[in-house]
Amino acid sequence: MTRWPFYFLASLAAMPLAARELPPKPSVADVIKASQASEWRPLDPASTLYLELPAGRVVIELAPAFAPNHADNIRALVREGYFDGLAILRAQDNFVVQWGDPDEANPRKPKTAKEKLAGEFTVPLKNDRDFTRLPDRDGYAPQVGHSNGFPSARDPKTGQAWLAHCYGMVGVGRDVDADSANGGALYAVIGQAPRQLDRNITVVGRVVDGMPLLSVMPRGPGAMGFYEDAVQRVTIKSVKLAADVPEAQRSKLEVMRTASASFKAVAEASRNRGGPWTKVAAGHVDLCNVPIPVRQGGT
């Protein structure tokens, strides 16, 4: 029996990696369960959109720290009922679902909102006051991490920070010109993170609930997944700001604070899973593989 540790080490060296048993470790679910109430924050009703579809509600959290002008303009569009009765325009597999005005010939005009805005593709580093860096390396940016609930990237050399195109992130569709958009055409990422779009698009927020209502949209038959006929399109019932919805009808959701110790533990649980199911821990996690927990609760 006393020889056991030696035997164990010798057999470890001889064993194929997959046969070694990893010690158990807390899972993401365990970390969430053990988290403190103070490690969660409610959504700000003034920066939360409800995209109401026939199948249910998609909840989007805006990121005014990264796109202040677009957040303002989207609030204005929403408050004038701009999106109500518009449609899901395209669903391209492994890419995006996009919504807006299907009538290209005679598009709806904003009443109070602006028709065009300068792109907010990056912001100065100082605007991103809540950055928590992920230690793992990234191919697309010198630094990546999370900024108050959003995956983000930064380059100290250029002094720029930006939101990263991870699954569920919401961006502003635009034409060729950088200033050709106003937030009236939005999309959510439904596949492998298209990080090549980072710094090319204004990213305005993240779907925090109801993502499956978008991700199962039938892929459109046209180029880039566009629906070609009106009958193929799902109509948007309305888009409202949570602040404008009676409290009883609001979605009660909390997001884990990404500067919290528990969120650090979520990243570690994603980076190095324990046994017994996992045989080889990755030792790394890509930015877009760190889940940003959302739970029912709060007011």
Residue 17's φ and ψ, nearest 5 degrees, are -50, -40
Query: Is residue 295 part of the contact set for its own copies (CB under 8 A)?
Result: no
Query: Is residue 19 part of the contact set for its own copies (CB under 8 A)?
Result: yes
Residues within window 156-215 making contact with its own copies, judged by CB under 8 A: 158, 160, 166-168, 176, 178, 191-196, 198-200, 211-212, 215
Query: Is residue 23 part of the contact set for its own copies (CB under 8 A)?
Result: no
Question: In this chain, which stretch among 15-23, 43-51, 100-108, 238-246 interacts with its own copies, using CB under 8 A?
Answer: 15-23
Residue 11 or 36 having the CB closest to its own copies: 11
Among 128, 136, 209, 254, binds its own copies (CB under 8 A): 136
Exposed (0-12), middle (13-18) or buried (19+): which is 203, by Cβ within 10 Å?
buried
| Pairing of β 56-62 and β 203-209 | antiparallel
Query: Is residue 254 part of the contact set for its own copies (CB under 8 A)?
Result: no
In whole angstroms, how close is the CB of 284 to its own copies at the nearest point?
Answer: 4
Among 33, 109, 282, 297, binds its own copies (CB under 8 A): 282
Query: Is residue 276 part of the contact set for its own copies (CB under 8 A)?
Result: yes
Residue 223 or 231 having the CB closest to its own copies: 223
Residues within window 81-100 making contact with its own copies, judged by CB under 8 A: 93-94
CA 243 – CA 61 distance, rounded (Å): 12
Query: Is residue 70 part of the contact set for its own copies (CB under 8 A)?
Result: no
Among 39, 209, 254, 286, binds its own copies (CB under 8 A): 286
Query: Is residue 226 part of the contact set for its own copies (CB under 8 A)?
Result: no
Among 41, 57, 116, 279, binds its own copies (CB under 8 A): 279
In whole angstroms, how close is the CB of 271 to its own copies at the nearest point?
Answer: 8
Residue 198 or 254 having the CB closest to its own copies: 198
DSSP string, the chain: -TTHHHHHHHHHHHS-GGGSPPPB---HHHHHHH--GGGEEEPPGGGEEEEEETTEEEEEEE-TTT-HHHHHHHHHHHHTTTTTT-EEEEE-TTSEEEEE---SSSPPPPSSS-S-B-----EEGGG-TTEEE-SS--SS-SEEEEETTEEEEEETTTTEEEE---TTEEEE---SSTT-B-SSSEEEE-SS--GGGTTTS-EEEEEEE-HHHHHTSPPPSSGGGB--SGGGSPBP-EEEEGGGS-GGGS--EEEE-TTSHHHHHHHHHHHS--BTT-SS--S---GGGS---EEE---
Tell which residue, 126, 156, 130, has the closest CA to residue 141: 156
Residue 75 or 206 having the CB closest to its own copies: 206
Question: In this chain, which stretch among 35-43, 103-111, 130-138, 231-239 interacts with its own copies, using CB under 8 A?
Answer: 130-138
Site residues for its own copies per CB under 8 A: 17-19, 93-94, 119, 121-122, 136-140, 158, 160, 166-168, 176, 178, 191-196, 198-200, 211-212, 215-219, 270, 273, 276-280, 282, 284-286, 288-289
